[in-house]
Amino acid sequence: DAGVIQSPRHEVTEMGQEVTLRCKPISGHDYLFWYRQTMMRGLELLIYFNNNVPIDDSGMPEDRFSAKMPNASFSTLKIQPSEPRDSAVYFCASSLTSGEQYFGPGTRLTVT
Amino acid sequence: GENVEQHPSTLSVQEGDSAVIKCTYSDSASNYFPWYKQELGKRPQLIIDIRSNVGEKKDQRIAVTLNKTAKHFSLHITETQPEDSAVYFCAAHEKLTFGTGTRLTIIP
């Protein structure tokens, strides 16, 4: 297995634009997590899914953020409209039941 | 919700010495406590974990201890090496809450 796959690896966009981050979890894993990492706030859980169903989205900062998981092998995190303060590294992770989480390589987002 | 506090935020030790990082958590229902290592520019990776029915777990130079009564757990790294330099995160899994991280620097 190639591990958790994220795309793009880097994204630079202008304020106000829509940004879509993509994640493919490890096959067979039933949990998927989205995290945001910044120097100021550390590693924050944004939302997680179990069997494609969102379980806890209390970490989503505001309505500009949305996440979907249409099937077991794909998830998206969308920011619309983007703002400079959204600049961060966004990690996707997956796990089997509630065990070890395997992180993807991350997407470094820069909003100018 | 769960609150995880991690100390210290930075730690420098001489190569060969031991390093200890401590975390406390607030939710007594938490039952899984992983530790992740993140090297510069890389993703977090699990290095060791412990469940609430065990008080200590060891894997070569790395060990984790858990005190459920006091709600704290610690990471111990012995015989530190330069490649141990990284940021370490603890987490209390029940609420998927990570600590703020400890930047460990091993001084050759």
pLDDT tens column, B74-86: 999 999 999 999 9
Q: Roughly how many angstroms between the first and final C-alpha of chain A, as a whole number?
A: 36
Spatial distance between the Cα atoms of B3 and B92, rounded to a whole number of angstroms: 8
**Cβ contacts of A91 on chain B, cutoff 8 Å:** 43-44
Res. A48: pLDDT tops 90: yes
Element (DSSP H or E) covering residue A81: none
To the nearest whole Å, the CA of A8 is away from the closest chain B CA by 15
CB contact under 8 A, A58 and B1: yes
CB contact under 8 A, B43 and A101: no
Residues in chain A: 112
B35 touches chain A (CB under 8 A): no
- Cβ-nearest to B32 among A43, A98, A105: A98
To the nearest whole Å, the CA of B57 is away from the closest chain A CA by 16
What does the pLDDT look like over A50-92, one tens digit per residue? 999 999 898 998 899 999 999 999 999 999 999 999 999 999 9
- In the chain, the amino acid numbered A51 is N
**Cβ contacts of B96 on chain A, cutoff 8 Å:** 33, 45, 48, 56
